[in-house]
Amino acid sequence: MAIIYFWGAAQEVTGSCHLIESASFGKILLDCGMHQGGNSIDRIGDEGFPFNPASIDAVLLSHAHLDHSGMLPKLVHDGFTGPIYCTSETADLLVVMLQDSVSIYMGDLARENRRLARKGKPLLEPEYSEEDVMQVITQCESQSYNKALKLAEQTTACFHDAGHILGSAIIELSFEERGEQKKLVFSGDLGNKSAVLMNDPSILTKADIVLMESTYGDRNHKSIDNTVSELKTILKDTENRGGNIMIPAFAVGRTQEILFYLGQLHQQGLLDNWQVILDSPMAIEVTRVYDKWFNALDSDEIEEASPNAHSILKDFIPRLFLSVAPDESMMINKIKKGALIIAGSGMCTGGRIRHHFKQRIWDSRNAIIFCGYQANGTLGRLLVDGLQHLKLFGDDYVVKAQIETLGGFSAHAGQNELVEWVSHFENNPKVVLVHGEPKAQEALAQKLWEDKNIRAVIPSLGQSLVF
């Protein structure tokens, strides 16, 4: 028999980590993600593994977002020596994502240790290091879409395009157990079909068990046309107020999508009074990776929108300013109006966006646009939910900036798309909902039962399931 242990993203959105164990192939980990929210020291310090990393035979990684990949360096540090299978694009993105993550972590750790030293308290040891990040990259074995990978005798894995971000994959695991063929499908994060830079998620039809994400299981996204129309209104209203716009940036996927649509607005003459600033070194590097793999993206729509486009950075927004150095970021503070600032992090848990909040969140002329999911416990979620006062860098601020949300730019499938995707399986597999908050999962489970007569299971953290 095969057993699945749910060690993350169980009735929560972040921290994807599912362990599959079978006599046929040993122990395989689907993702090894980090939880979002809180500071990096507490977050990483609390992320112990309920299994022995040295006992894991292989990792199958769905994509590069940190809530799916961020604990790989700690896994390696704690003894994992096996292969990490992922797409070639994911391997390229991991270099940027994990190096940035460890840089932030080590910086936070150094500051915390200086504080502890002043108080005469014991210093904290790092949970992992830059060397562990490099070892993760060394252990990555890149795979192509739709090509069977042999993991063991009678056991194969195959990556299919999930349409979520560059390189994102639906993982199909096929194996034989006691003479019986079995197939597990893990959706990873399924993409929003309206995403201009991504292909639609691949459709699979055979499985015995399906682990499916449920981030937006309780709602659908607005159409991209309505979303762009809302963005135009926000731009006009903020310009009339003499304000600035801040967009918390998800460095992988969302930033590139937003830049594309801003490029279209530029071509329409709607950005003439705006200075667009990408103030995220990681997002800049990630966008360069997107440029490298441009021909793997949804090229028909891109070609139609901009026939001569060869680079998201160079061709779509000629006046785009790339802010890399800290002093360049600080210079943005001098812009009194007309600055459209895209800065990390996407959920406002750290990064340069918090510094821009310090300069502008108290001014009602300004606007903050949230374009992606905000997990429980993050500053982004608190602001979306109506937070009126916050503390930043030791000072108290009143939130007066206009808070806007644009759901149509989401990189995740909405409820109808999730239902439609899973309904293609022909042999009535067991459906397990992961990577979603309980409210969204319960709504999706009810929708699946009422519309498709599909029963869905919602596991809790640490629960196991035999199939």
Kindly report, residue by residue over 102-136, the tens digit of the pLDDT: 988 898 899 899 999 999 999 999 999 999 999 99
| Residue 450 · residue 467 · CB < 8 Å | no
Whole-number Å distance between alpha carbons of 323 and 335: 14
- Cα 445 from Cα 425, distance rounded (Å): 16
> What pLDDT does 267 receive?
87
CATH level 2 (architecture), domain 224-409 = 3-Layer(aba) Sandwich (3.40)
pLDDT at 297: 60
Note the pLDDT of residue 179.
Answer: 86
User: Which of 212, 219, 97 lies closest to 165, judged by CA?
Assistant: 97
Residue 464 is predicted with a pLDDT of 97
pLDDT of residue 167: 95
Predicted confidence at residue 346, as pLDDT, reads 85
The CATH number given to 3-219+411-466 is: 3.60.15.10
How far apart, in whole angstroms, are the C-alpha atoms of residue 394 and residue 23? Answer: 54
Looking at this protein, which amino acid is placed at residue 425? F
Say how far apart CA 138 and CA 83 lie, in whole Å.
Answer: 9
Q: Are strands 155-161 and 149-152 parallel, antiparallel or unpaired?
A: antiparallel
Q: What pLDDT was estimated at residue 294?
A: 66
Look up residue 160 and give its two tokens. Answer: 């299919």
d(CA 6, CA 460): 7
Domain ranges of the chain: 3-219+411-466, 224-409
Quick check: 266 and 320 in contact, CB under 8 A?
Answer: no
pLDDT of residue 178: 84
pLDDT for the residue 197: 82
Predicted confidence at residue 358, as pLDDT, reads 95
The pLDDT tens digits along the chain (467 residues) read 899 999 999 999 989 999 999 999 999 999 999 987 666 777 777 778 999 999 999 999 999 999 999 999 999 999 999 999 999 999 999 999 999 889 888 988 998 999 999 999 999 999 999 999 999 999 999 999 999 999 999 999 999 999 999 999 999 999 998 889 999 999 999 999 888 888 999 999 999 999 999 999 999 998 889 999 999 999 999 999 999 999 998 888 888 889 888 988 998 999 999 999 999 988 888 888 888 776 656 545 444 444 344 455 555 677 789 999 999 999 999 999 999 999 988 889 888 999 999 999 999 999 999 988 888 888 999 999 999 999 988 899 999 999 999 978 888 999 999 999 999 999 899 999 999 999 999 999 999 999 999 999 999 999 999 99
Count of alpha carbons within 13 Å of 254, Cβ hemisphere only?
Answer: 25
